[in-house]
A and B are shown apart, each in its own frame.
Chain A
Amino acid sequence: MNQDQVESQLSAMFDGELPVAECELLSRRIDRDENLRSRWSRYALIGAAMRSEPVAAARSGFATRVSAALSAEGRPRGTRQRRLWWNSALAATLVAGVAGLSIAMLRDDASRFGARGVVADAVPAPARAADRVAAAVPVRAPAVSVSGAGHEPWSYVTPVGLGSGNNSALRTQLADYMVEHSVYSTPLMQRNLLSSLVSGEDGLGNASDPPGTATAVTRAEQVDAAAAAGARAR
């Protein structure tokens, strides 16, 4: 492309009539061609003079000084960052909401199925303390089976067939999952989660348990474990 064609492009770009792809190429050329920059500026003066607009000849290098100052401070803080922040906040709120709803449903199940309800059986102790608890609590059937009670399970996180041998591991995973995700919720929600996990442990000391198994994990230990898990999560 010869110089005449480039200058013709410049004129069209000045009027906003050059295709975007060509604008990008020409812009890069303008960056390193002082003649094109001067010409661009004079095109502006020609238009201003034709319209009798007041103009003052800026001193040499004015635009270069502005450009240097802008280079020093980087990109402007745009709406993209703000949008990102709002997206994060929205995601955190949604996660906290889902966690809260899950707790409420599990607690509801627990109350409907008695002290040894779903939560009681599903959550021996929160988070990492669950390993300790899992070792102490033998696999046992729930006092009230969801399917056996003639109800449809209310919670999607509580599988039918609680009496299976994998219950403890599953419940432990569920507890871990909820504690881990509680970092996205508010402090109040986290406290509610921990207290609900702990309160759900009342059934562990049920008389039907063989001595020295579930009862080996005292309530104090559960509270400690919950608090520790909560602290890690935070």
Chain B
Amino acid sequence: MVPDASDWSLVQRVQRGERNAYDLLVLKYQHKVVKLVMRYLRDPAEAEDVAQEAFIKAYRALPQFRGDSAFYTWLYRIAINTAKNALAARDRSPVSYELDLQGSDDSPDLVSRLKDPETPEGLALTEEIRNTVNSAIEALPEDLRTAIVLRELEGLSYEEIAATMDCPVGTVRSRIFRAREAIDRRLRVVFDGGLGRTEELV
């Protein structure tokens, strides 16, 4: 199984008219697409607007997507083009200066800065996520760690992992789930401490 197989099954469901399957693709790739767009547009709010536009364009074009490439590769191109177009449109527009009439106490607010990965706080949060995930993986029992690494880094299917680890597919499914749960428990602590609520990220 290729790593993108899960995306392909979601794409096919969207093509059959299941709109909620597209919501799952957005939830899955929102952080990567926003990050990608921010390479062109550094303002987080503007980057999110453009990322949203990219997701909408991708949805409109999805009936024509035939799976010749990975879904994210295809989405990546759409996001890049949308960002470039936004950048070109902005360059053609008069420069606007926003005045902070509310005073400096409230702007920029801490939450926005935390969510902007280009700020020191944002970078620290991203780094903390990575460190938390890595340390959680190291703390996993070997069978769980092997299963999640084979899945996430090697992109193997459950069947392939079962063959590699010489165990039933059901066991692989259980190990990967338990590994994710262990990592997620630690990750939630980071979000509870950094952003106040886990849902803020979603």
Q: Which residues of B contact A63 (CB under 8 A)?
A: 23, 26-27, 30, 202
User: Which residues in chain A, 6-21, are within 8 Å of chain B measured between CB atoms?
Assistant: 7-8, 11-17, 20
Q: Are B201 and A70 in contact (CB under 8 A)?
A: no
CB contact between A49 and one of B64, B130, B158 (< 8 Å): that residue: B130
CB contact between A40 and one of B27, B35, B56, B134 (< 8 Å): that residue: B27
The 8 A CB mask of A109-128 against B (1 = contact, 0 = none) is: 00000000000000000000
- Chain B nearest CB: distance from A37 CB in Å? 6
Q: Which residues of B contact A42 (CB under 8 A)?
A: 184, 187-188, 198, 201-202
Which of chain A's residues has its CB closest to B112's CB?
Answer: A59
Do A56 and B35 form a contact, CB below 8 Å, given A44-B27, A49-B130? Answer: yes
CB contact between B59 and one of A16, A24, A76 (< 8 Å): that residue: A76
> How many residue pairs, one in A and one in B, have C-beta atoms under 8 Å apart?
200
In the complex, what distance in Å separates the CA atom of A103 from the CA atom of B22?
53
Q: Are B184 and A67 in contact (CB under 8 A)?
A: no
Interface residues in A, total, Cβ within 8 A: 56
Segment at the A interface, from B3-11, B77-85, B86-94, B100-108: B3-11
The 8 A CB mask of B135-159 against A (1 = contact, 0 = none) is: 0010000000000110111000110
Q: Which residues of B contact A212 (CB under 8 A)?
A: none
A-side binding surface: helix, strand, loop or mixed?
helix
A2 contacts the other chain (Cβ, under 8 Å)? no
Q: Are A58 and B201 in contact (CB under 8 A)?
A: yes
Segment at the B interface, from A27-35, A142-150, A171-179, A224-232: A27-35
B17 contacts the other chain (Cβ, under 8 Å)? yes
Which of chain A's residues has its CB closest to B47's CB?
Answer: A56
CB contact between B180 and one of A24, A43, A78, A80 (< 8 Å): that residue: A43
CB contact between A11 and one of B15, B19, B59, B177 (< 8 Å): that residue: B177
Q: Are A58 and B6 in contact (CB under 8 A)?
A: no
27 A-B pairs (CB sep. < 8 Å): A7-B181, A24-B18, A27-B18, A27-B21, A27-B24, A42-B198, A45-B187, A48-B32, A49-B129, A50-B153, A55-B126, A56-B116, A56-B122, A56-B126, A57-B115, A57-B117, A57-B125, A57-B195, A57-B201, A58-B201, A59-B115, A59-B200, A62-B26, A71-B19, A73-B56, A76-B59, A79-B63
- Residue ranges of A at the interface with B (Cβ–Cβ < 8 Å): 7-8, 11-17, 20, 23-24, 27-28, 30-31, 34, 37-60, 62-63, 65-67, 69-71, 73, 75-80
